[in-house]
Copies of this chain bind each other. A is one copy, B any other.
Amino acid sequence: MAQPIRLRQVSPLKASCHQCSLSNLCLPLAIEENELDRLEDIVQQGRIFNRGEHIFDQSTPFRSCFAVKSGAIKTSIISENGEEQVTGFFMPGELVGLDSMGSKNYACTAKALERTSVCEFPIDKLEELTGKLPDLQHHMYHLMSQEIQGSHQLAMLLSKNTAEERIAALLLSLSSRFQRRRMSGTNFSLPMARNDIANFLGLAVETVSRVFTRFQNQGIISARGREVELLDVEALQTVTREFARQNA
């Protein structure tokens, strides 16, 4: 038994970024084969978190970024007064912790919404490696700027759009992220509670609930609990652009 275990500690772990079905979404994206090996040298794979467990906590020392392999994670910041703001939902293939890069402590708390497995990238080794691999550094810049852009989009959604538009946008965002993983873009299960949706979109829980039933009555979606089916994607896209048309 000893030998097989030893082998597993080296070979399968090293090979797994190559084999990972998410390698086209995660960090290895656009990296040369031989460079991928060096990334695998620093990654700690296969950590598992149960629903509700914290991957890391705000204001604790920043040690690592995490790539979601399966499951889902929500990040949130707690202001001095204890008010929570959900800042993002992270699906498989997405990188958590970029908002803490270059800082001493984590800027937010990351919590598993369901049973979730992640790959861990120790930040000191990651920074060292990005210094050696220009493509990887470029990709890190890209991912971080994407996060900034996404946050700006969210700010736009929050400041200019109605409840219906915000929820339609979230459903479409989730849909495209499921599709990217070759899963159904019209029939999926929401990883987060209504409460999290409301907090993320800056709405009251009751409003979220009402919009869901309204969409259902209009035949745009079909929802029972967290199970959602998008019946009329075009109608949803119309809703998100509705506001624009009126103010054109």
Contact = CB atoms under 8 A, between A and B. Distances in A.
Contacts of A160: 83, 85, 202
Interface of A: 77, 79-83, 85, 87, 98-103, 107-108, 127-128, 130-132, 134, 137-149, 151-156, 158-160, 201-203, 241, 243-245, 247-248
Contact of A82 (B82, B141, B244): B244
B145 A77 contact: no
The A interface is mostly helix, strand or loop, or mixed, namely: helix
Given A149-B107, A202-B160, A127 B131 contact: no
Per assembly, the copies of the chain total 2
A194 to B, nearest CB: 16
Given A151-B155, A159-B201, A102 B141 contact: yes
Given A138-B102, A145-B100, A248-B81, A154 B156 contact: no
Nearest to A242: B81
Contacts of A139: 102
Contacts of A130: 131, 137
A102 B142 contact: yes
Contact of A101 (B99, B142, B151, B159): B142
Given A137-B127, A141-B101, A159-B202, A152 B85 contact: yes
Contacts of A107: 145, 148-149, 152
A244 B81 contact: yes
Contacts of A152: 77, 85, 87, 99, 107-108, 151
A170 to B, nearest CB: 13
Given A127-B137, A144-B144, A155-B158, 19 more contacts: A80-B244, A81-B245, A81-B247, A83-B243, A85-B152, A85-B159, A99-B145, A99-B152, A101-B141, A101-B144, A102-B144, A127-B141, A130-B131, A130-B137, A131-B137, A140-B141, A144-B148, A148-B151, A160-B202
A82 B248 contact: yes
Contacts of A245: 81
Nearest to A138: B102
Contacts of A81: 241, 244-245, 247-248
Contacts of A159: 85, 158, 201-203
Contact of A145 (B79, B128, B144): B144
